Amino acid sequence: MKPTTLQVELGDRGYPIHIGAGLLTQSALYAPHLTGRIALVTNDVVAPLYADRLLASLGPAGSDAIRVILPDGEARKDWSSLERIYAALLAESADRKTVVIALGGGVVGDVAGFAAATYQRGIACIQVPTTLLAQVDSSVGGKTAINHPLGKNMIGAFHQPRVVIADTATLATLPPREFAAGLAEVAKHGAIRDLEFLAWIEANVAALVARDPVALEHAIRRSCEIKAAIVAQDERETGVRALLNFGHTFGHAIESALGHGTWLHGEAVAAGMVLAARLSARIGRIAEADVQRLEHLLAALGLPVKAPAITPERWMEFMGRDKKNQGGRITFVLLDALGRASVVRDAPDSALREVLAAA
């Protein structure tokens, strides 16, 4: 299969997304911006698998790279990892021409991206996503962040990468639970924007779960197309970009209430999308059959569809801190139909409490 390239249209901050098997070994071809020293940021799971291969493909710039290897895990998407990156950049006298390469999943991408956004007030970043979730979602769009114990992604910045290089061959080593977590964000893109894509996912569940390369390539490309088009319209989430948060008001509350890393992000988003769909049905925006259809698809993709036990007070505490909220009202992304969503700021509290009570 030939590699595909999409463009995120953001004027002089626009960039290509390259998708294909084996791109890691041709990185120099896909990253012509390497005019400064490279700072490779990865973690202790991904480094032994892919760091040498990536750096070897970059020639002398690769051998001279600063290497920062973070401890693995969502729990380490925090100050300590950020501090390690800053310390390494400073110890090596990295300058404003230094290019951060984030090699790994969404955790590495978000924290390395935030370090790049803030080091010396901003240096270039290249995203090399190696999880399905990162290839379909987190490497694109420029949201970077670390978590705070009181909330997900609470400290961060918008900082677009210069290029995204998604080598689909890296997905072969991804554990099944992590792979399923990526499928949650794929389904989200269909649910909010593209009923035809959602139906394609339903028809191709077996191929996707079996990691069929043709099916996977389509899922990644269509997800990136949908996300890139939304980001191009609303880079800083003043409007339509919030639709990409479908399932996240509930999902982020699950992650934070249980402790970051207890449920995977994609798992929490899957259960969160079911709750958001139920709330949509409860206030008459969609039919109960639509909720069941989405729930059935997510379960078939190997994802949890039932939220964990969380007290109503804890739900409200974490959802009360969601970044979409305005004027103290919890904001939800709800479905108007499968394939179409809206931002809703006036969902009745009674309906929300009923949905949570039945969760």
Ligand X SMILES: NC(=O)c1ccc[n+]([C@@H]2O[C@H](COP(=O)([O-])OP(=O)(O)OC[C@H]3O[C@@H](n4cnc5c(N)ncnc54)[C@H](O)[C@@H]3O)[C@@H](O)[C@H]2O)c1
Ligand Y SMILES: O=C(O)C(=O)C[C@@H](O)[C@H](O)[C@H](O)COP(=O)(O)O
Q: Is 148 exposed, middle or buried (0-12, 13-18, 19+ CB in 10 A)?
A: middle
Cα–Cα distance, 80 to 70 (Å, whole number) = 9
Q: Output the smallest distance, CB 351 to ligand X, in A.
A: 27
The torsion defined by the Cα of 356, 270, 77 and 102, in degrees rounded to 10, comes to -160
Cβ proximity to ligand Y, 47 vs 298, nearer residue: 298
Q: Output the smallest distance, CB 22 to ligand X, in A.
A: 14
Please answer whether residues 115 and 122 qualify as being in contact, where contact means their C-beta atoms are separated by less than 8 angstroms. no
Q: Which of 130, 222, 131, 224 is nearest to 177 (CA)?
A: 131
Determine, following the binding rule CB under 6 A, whether residue 168 of this chain makes contact with ligand X: no
Determine, following the binding rule CB under 6 A, whether residue 266 of this chain makes contact with ligand Y: no
Q: 309: left (phi > 0), else alpha (psi -120 to 50), else beta?
A: beta
Cβ proximity to ligand X, 104 vs 304, nearer residue: 104
Distances (CA, A) of 49 to 30, 42, 302: 20, 11, 25
Site for ligand Y in 320-359 (CB under 6 A): 323
Q: Is 143 a catalytic residue?
A: yes
Q: What are phi and psi of 73, to 5 degrees?
A: 120, 150
Cα–Cα distance, 250 to 131 (Å, whole number) = 23
Q: Which does 131 bind (CB under 5 to 8 A by kind): ligand X, ligand Y, none?
A: ligand X
Residues 181-210: x where in contact with ligand Y by CB under 6 A, - otherwise, as a string: ----x-------------------------
Q: Output the smallest distance, CB 289 to ligand Y, in A.
A: 26
Catalytic member of 248, 260, 282, 285: 248
Residue of 137, 167, 194, 267 that binds ligand Y (CB under 6 A): 137
Which amino acid is located at 286 in the chain? I
Q: Which does 104 bind (CB under 5 to 8 A by kind): ligand X, ligand Y, none?
A: ligand X
Site of interaction with ligand X (CB under 6 A): 43, 45-46, 49, 72, 74, 77, 104-108, 110, 130-131, 133-134, 137-138, 141, 143, 153, 170, 173-174, 178, 181, 265-266
Site of interaction with ligand Y (CB under 6 A): 137, 141, 143, 152-153, 185, 237, 241, 244-245, 248, 323
